[in-house]
Amino acid sequence: MSRFTKVVVIGLDGLEPKIVDSMLQAGELPNLARLRDRGGYSRVATTTPAQTPVAWSTFATGVNPGGHGIYDFIRRDPKTYLPDLGLNRYEQKNAFLPPKAVNLRRGTPLWELLGAAGVPSAIIRCPCSYPPDAVKGGRMLSGMGVPDLRGGLGTSTFYTFDPAVQPQESESVVRLERRGDRVHAHLIGPRIPKTGADAKSDFTVEIRPAEGRALLRAEGSSDPLELRVGEWSKWLKVKFKLGLLQSVQGGVRFFVPRFEPDLELYASPINFAADAPMFPISNPWDYAGELTQRIGPFYTTGMVEDHGGLNNGRFDEAAYLSQCEQVMREREQMMRLELDRLEAGLCYVLFDTPDRVQHMFWRFGEPDHPANREHGTGSYGQVVRDHYRRCDLVVGEALARADDRTLVIVLSDHGFSSFQRGFHINSWLQQNGLLTLKPGTDPGEDAGEFFHNVDWSRTQAYALGIGSMYLNVKGREAQGTVDPADAPQLADRIVRGLTGVVDPERGKVAINGVATKADTYSGAFAAESPDLVVLFNAGYRASWTTALGGIPAGLFEDNVKKWSGDHIIDPTLVPGVLFMSTPFQGGAARLLDLAPTILSALGVPKGPAMEGESLLP
């Protein structure tokens, strides 16, 4: 018989060990302290790169990225050099079938091994679980990777009368129209497959100043939705007709920045309706619907927190935090529900929000952050620490539901750091003669994104994603120039060239090193990996435009966005944290060791491909 009947894993995305250490010391995280005292606490080595989807996939499968195939949020098609989402893709077997989502995370997740051994599991929102794994005797709600109704990770809509307002990042703008005492507008649904046009669903808003509220009436919905200034609305269920025979449902929430002098309205990305998703988001397929029945409608997209609305200045930090709190509560309700009915096996619940809070609030802890010049500093200096305390309450909830045969694990997938300066990797390649622009084009605006003006016949390497770099290899890339035999030499040249690059403005080393494919990845899907991964120093990251194949002028830029913290740097600088309710060998713990640890706790042998070892004594 195994030592434990249950394992409960609480994922706290992006919890940074340095902050945890200091708060533990100050006695501000009592539940984590209890856990540390009962069992132990250590750092846990993350993956290369230190990205959420990569790290949690290694957690799930117990293999390095070469064994599960997730390397970056963004991958590229070597035949077109175009970027695409690195987490999943859609395929259509023939014209008669709907497109199907295909998870790019491969390998064998530990819950599949549990299921095969007859051990049940409930997995809530593990990244790269879309479409959900079909696990026997398991429940799974998909997480990061689930799109909104538009098919992206989240496109919001801003409504205004002002004709000068232009759409910002990941956003549509719809002009409001006044007709009589009502304001008219529409929600933007998916593209209609046949015509490519946007499906729309009309709504009206009636402002009742005396009552301090407005009523939003949507097509096909009987009850009006109440709107109040400075508040998030309840969920509006919306249906879009895609044709005579097809329709799709979604859920949306509104935020009202103001009624006066003219109404402005923010609509969240339109989420799949959990009880009628466009593509499956749970296993069994009706599990998401069951959750809706029990806890009400909830956010279903992969990245739930409306960071776009904050980044674009459509609402302020307070509104963002209130939305984050809503997400935390939803997730807590799911956790309670599953812990209360878990009799044996594994329950995993990921709280993504600490990652999203730190991204947007990191600058308030750094007076010299360039973003503060643009956005000023408010009274948000304590937000990150407050949120850690909030996470500690979640841990308390989990501990309260754990008996002495329950192993409780709390971990983060990576730590957190500052993002003050962006580095243009493609521009560096261009300056070093490894990437050539078409004649008459210079780096900067006219080079554009998507490698628009790259002369591939004279290009040896290119970067896209958040630190990933590829060589332009003959036979693999469409217009490859690098003989595979020469690739290691070229890679070595780039490693030597980039390692130790100094930011002249700050006088600091920006790049600590570069990981090579050969040294970093092994396994069935290693061939798909980037050839090189740039390991940035704290404070630095691949620049915004690098991610989509941009080649700006210069090498460095200030990061002036509210998205001011990040973690996609040298992984040794951003380990995660690991707490367990039983003593463990924490000295050199790696995310790789978690799957073997959980399996061992439940008496199931680890998978043959798993590279780590159980941390249990």
Partner 1 sequence: MKILVIGLDCATPEILLGDERLVNLRRLMAGGAYGRLESIIPPITVPAWMCMATSQDPGSLGVYGFRNRTDHSYAGLGIVSARSIQELAIWDQIAREGKRSVIIGVPPSFPPRKVNGICVGCFLTPDTTTDAYTYPAAVKDEIAALVGEYEVDVKGFRTDRKAWLRDELFRMSRKLFTVVRHYLTSTEWDYFHFVDIGTDRVQHGFWKYHDPQHVLHEPGSPYAEVIRDYYRHLDEEIGRLLELLSDDTVVLVVSDHGAQRLDGGFCVNEWLVREGLLVLDQYPAQVTPFDQLSVNWGKTRVWSEGGYYARVFLNVRGREPEGVIAPEDYEAVRDDLKARLEATVGPDGRPLGTLVFKPQEVYQQVRNVAPDLIVHFGGLYWRSIGGVGYPGLHIQENDTGPDDCNHAQFGSFILAASNSPLQGEQTGARLLDIAPTLLELGGYDVPGSMQGRSLVSGRALEAPSGFTAAGEAIIRERLAGLGYIS
Nearer to partner 1, 197 or 244 (CB): 244
- Tokens read off for 65: 């990225």
Nearer to partner 1, 53 or 523 (CB): 53
Alpha carbons 429 and 445: distance in angstroms, whole number:
17
- Contact call for residue 76 and partner 1 (CB under 8 A): no
CA neighbours within 13 Å on the CB side: how many for 435? 29
Q: Which of residues 457-476 bind partner 1 (CB under 8 A)?
A: 466
Packing angle, helices 383-400 and 17-25, rounded to 10: 80
Q: Indicate which single residue of 73, 259, 320, 540 sits in contact with partner 1 (rule: CB under 8 A).
A: 73
Nearer to partner 1, 348 or 419 (CB): 419
Alpha carbons 157 and 149: distance in angstroms, whole number:
13
Min. distance of Cβ 504 from partner 1 in angstroms? 23
- Contact call for residue 565 and partner 1 (CB under 8 A): no
Q: Indicate which single residue of 1, 27, 94, 181 sits in contact with partner 1 (rule: CB under 8 A).
A: 94
CA proximity to 70, closest of 80, 56, 81, 82: 56
Nearer to partner 1, 466 or 604 (CB): 466
Print the binding letters for residues 309-328 with partner 1: x by CB under 8 A, - otherwise. --x-----------------
Q: Indicate which single residue of 40, 115, 120, 147 sits in contact with partner 1 (rule: CB under 8 A).
A: 147
Q: How many residues bind partner 1 (CB under 8 A)?
A: 47
Print the binding letters for residues 338-357 with partner 1: x by CB under 8 A, - otherwise. ------------------x-
Nearer to partner 1, 94 or 379 (CB): 94
CA proximity to 271, closest of 290, 288, 241, 250: 250
Alpha carbons 564 and 541: distance in angstroms, whole number:
11
Q: Indicate which single residue of 39, 40, 65, 83 sits in contact with partner 1 (rule: CB under 8 A).
A: 83
Alpha carbons 472 and 456: distance in angstroms, whole number:
8
Nearer to partner 1, 120 or 269 (CB): 269
Q: Indicate which single residue of 450, 476, 506, 513 sits in contact with partner 1 (rule: CB under 8 A).
A: 450
Q: Indicate which single residue of 307, 363, 414, 517 sits in contact with partner 1 (rule: CB under 8 A).
A: 307
The answer for residues whose C-beta is within 8 angstroms of residue 565's C-beta and 6 or more apart is 358, 359, 360, 361, 362, 363, 416, 417, 418, 419
- 3 state DSSP class of 9: strand
Sheet (strand 247-252) strand order: 236-241, 247-252, 271-272
- Contact call for residue 563 and partner 1 (CB under 8 A): yes
Q: Which stretch binds partner 1 (CB under 8 A): 239-247, 318-326, 390-398, 590-598?
A: 239-247
Q: Which stretch binds partner 1 (CB under 8 A): 30-38, 233-241, 244-252, 410-418?
A: 244-252
Report the first-to-last Cα separation within the chain, whole angstroms. Answer: 16
- Tokens read off for 130: 């879309």
- Contact call for residue 271 and partner 1 (CB under 8 A): no
CB atoms within 10 A of CB 574: 27
Nearer to partner 1, 361 or 563 (CB): 563
Q: Which stretch binds partner 1 (CB under 8 A): 9-17, 79-87, 127-135, 363-371?
A: 79-87
CB 564 within 8 A of CB 394: no
Instruction: State the virtual CA torsion across 365, 366, 371, 372 in degrees, nearest 10.
Output: 80
- Contact call for residue 401 and partner 1 (CB under 8 A): no
- Tokens read off for 370: 């360039």
Q: Which residues bind partner 1 (CB under 8 A)?
A: 73-74, 80, 82-85, 93-98, 147-148, 150-156, 169-170, 242-246, 269, 301, 303, 307-308, 311, 356, 359, 450, 466, 544-545, 547-548, 561, 563, 566, 568
